[in-house]
A and B are shown apart, each in its own frame.
Chain A
Amino acid sequence: MIENTQVIINKSKSRSENKDFNFSKDQIRITSSEVINSYRDKAWESFSKTFIPTIKDDPWRRTDLRMLKVDRFELATSNDSTKKDTIPSNLLKPLADGEHGGQILISGNDVRSYLDPALEGQGVIFTDLLTAELKYPQLVEKIIGKIVEPSEGKFAAMTGALAQNGVFLYVPKNITIESPLHSLIWGSTIDFANTTHVMVYLEGGASVTYVHEVASDTETNGQSLQSSNIEMYVGPGSSLRFVELQSWGRHVWNFTHERVNVDRNGSVDWIFGAIGGHLTKNFAELNLIADGASGKMSGFYFTDQDQHLDYDSQQNHLAPHTTSDLLFKGALVEKSRSVWQGMIYVAPGADKTDGYQANRNLLLSRDARADSIPGLEILADDVRCTHGATVGKIDADQIFYLMARGIPRLEAERLIVEGFFDPIMQRIPFEGVRERFQQSITDKMKAYTG
């Protein structure tokens, strides 16, 4: 593989007119919890004070929102035409061996949820946000706004104030959940904004695998907006495996603020897969907040046509003896574009930490472009941190070699792309999830004709 590191920086453009969303404060859902209510009021304050980010704002330098028709969006309500029966059956298939321990399907206002009664008996809560607010406000209070703050950005504030739904997972102390939990948010209607707040709270000594999936059909002639906050806490000695799959339709503009705080000797295995959407801006952050915490972040993306995918990742070593390992791999065809900007931060005194980050991109078309920008900020003395970023093309000699064995050119390219992603596939413990990714590679390579 020919590899070149390239860093391309856009020229700044002037701020466009300050269009804003037409939402109002009375759209905030009032709950019985003062804590939740005041969090939302505060979020609203942030939301109404901040502008839509422009390419002059540092993390947005490579992602331009000027074409986003913000003033057209309504908050998705019961008018939303999305129906539950449109969920394709292949998305409901178990992603792991055997059955799900629980499943939540959210499609517009329609919510269906299931949790294994045995888990329910152990005190596990896996439900949609509205139910959680009603039935378990004191548990929601433990985490809401504690991990992702509304002041972090326009979209974080918007979701914080107006979240229409979401998922709430709570795992009590020393509970191990064997079968994975699955949630699916389906549908994204034109001219509607959808806001989703996901919270995961693991008490000490707990263990769970949770697959969170967002998807929709592609609609033409319009835009839809998705904004989500994902807040996670992994208690002492707990382990969380969190798999996110994003396959929004091509009309969706998608914004995510997500962060996990990992406590003493806890670990998170965080897997990202993104193949959909028109434009995505994602802030993903791993906070290793106490001694011995560790986290692994594995990303898979494959963009085509005019898709734009922008990931900001942050690995924060805030305590000694913490370990992080990030590998993001992406393939790009046609005129698509990806951005990955990563940062490993090691706080003063966070000695004996080990941080790794790598981003590898494979460009399959001349017009595709990947920007890959690693970063380190190390304020401790005794640490080991390494990083790597590459943007490469398929080697013509690899293609010739495969063709010399009878394999047609496009299939040869597909094999090479699959091989490129193999190190990520190896990190995914579920056949079902791997198959989902393999299928997306096959589909995208089929549509692409060289």
Chain B
Amino acid sequence: MTELIVRNLHVSIEGKEILKGLNLTLPKGEVHAIMGPNGTGKSTLAYTLMGHPAYEVTEGEILFKDQNVLELEPNERSILGIFLAFQYPVGIPGVTVANFIRSAINARRRALNPQDKGIQLLEFRKQVKEKMELLQMDPAFAGRYLNDGFSGGEKKRAEILQMAMLKPEIAILDETDSGLDIDALKIVSEGVNTLKGPDLGVLVITHYQRILNYIKPDVVHVMMDGRIVESGGSELALHLEEHGYEWIREKVNGLG
């Protein structure tokens, strides 16, 4: 089983139910987009997939590679191959980008082989340099404290840099387009496109259609009130851009 499966997912935060029976299947090798108005639970889905402790799953399941993802700690989910590019990456003063990514790579290697001695420094430097060039990042960036005083664009690039270095199988991009100007959006999207392939499933969570001009989705889902209410091809995104969400709301209410 190489797809991420979300079944009847109910999630509450501080006692308030946000996700109300969400279903989603994301096969590797595909790009899916989740669109929807603000406050419909898109970011809740992202955090829940990654295992944020504040989000309480009351019902349903998440499966990936024959594993019950809900039983795993966030670090175990990461090692299983799930990656979340955060909408709001947290600053870690005193820890450099390079040191952090190296720790993450080594944690991964040790999880697979407890005897592992960690990635060779030269090899690591080579890889970081290569990925940073891809994302048009200044080499000095690797020596800066992680997300500490980064601009919005730098934070998002740092997220994609981590994704490139950690090579996940499922990548969730939570509003990666927010706060980016068009040039930065292009660079970040190109970065994601280079990483795309048969071994990577991508879930692009976004409020706007804009990013989907650069990262072409195979499937577009519309989320409303904690559920996926409509799915279609990439033309659905364009339709939403033109007509807004109201017609879907009416359709859903009509059905309900």
- Flag if A419 contacts B74 (CB, 8 Å): no
Partner of B93, one of A403, A404, A411, A419: A419
User: In the complex, what residues of A have CB within 8 A of residue B103's CB?
Assistant: 407, 411, 415
Q: 8 Å CB contacts to B: which residues of A396-450?
A: 396-398, 400-409, 411-412, 415-416, 418-423
- Flag if A398 contacts B92 (CB, 8 Å): yes
User: In the complex, what residues of B have CB within 8 A of residue A97's CB?
Assistant: none
User: In the complex, what residues of B have CB within 8 A of residue A412's CB?
Assistant: 75
The chain A residues found within 8 Å of chain B, CB to CB, are 1, 395-398, 400-409, 411-412, 415-416, 418-423
> Which of B11-19, B104-112, B207-215, B242-250 forms contacts with chain A?
B104-112
> Which of B2-10, B60-68, B78-86, B222-230 forms contacts with chain A?
B78-86
- Flag if B93 contacts A406 (CB, 8 Å): no
- Flag if A420 contacts B93 (CB, 8 Å): yes
User: In the complex, what residues of B have CB within 8 A of residue A423's CB?
Assistant: 94
- Known A-B contacts A404-B74, A406-B107, A407-B103; the reply to A416 vs B95 at CB < 8 A is yes
User: In the complex, what residues of A have CB within 8 A of residue B122's CB?
Assistant: none
Whole-angstrom distance from the CB of A445 to the nearest CB of chain B? 13
User: In the complex, what residues of A have CB within 8 A of residue B77's CB?
Assistant: 404
A353 CA to B123 CA, complexed, in Å: 50
The chain B residues found within 8 Å of chain A, CB to CB, are 50-53, 73-75, 77-79, 83-84, 86, 89-90, 92-95, 99-100, 103-104, 107-108, 111, 145, 162, 166
Whole-angstrom distance from the CB of A388 to the nearest CB of chain B? 15
- Flag if A400 contacts B92 (CB, 8 Å): no
- What would 11 A/B residue contacts be, using CB atoms closer than 8 Å? A397-B90, A398-B92, A401-B86, A403-B74, A403-B75, A404-B50, A405-B107, A406-B78, A407-B103, A419-B145, A422-B94
User: In the complex, what residues of B have CB within 8 A of residue A407's CB?
Assistant: 75, 103-104, 107
- Flag if A405 contacts B166 (CB, 8 Å): yes
Partner of B162, one of A397, A405, A411, A421: A405
- Flag if B92 contacts A401 (CB, 8 Å): yes
- Flag if B89 contacts A408 (CB, 8 Å): no
Whole-angstrom distance from the CB of B33 to the nearest CB of chain A? 21
A165 CA to B90 CA, complexed, in Å: 51
User: In the complex, what residues of B have CB within 8 A of residue A420's CB?
Assistant: 93-94
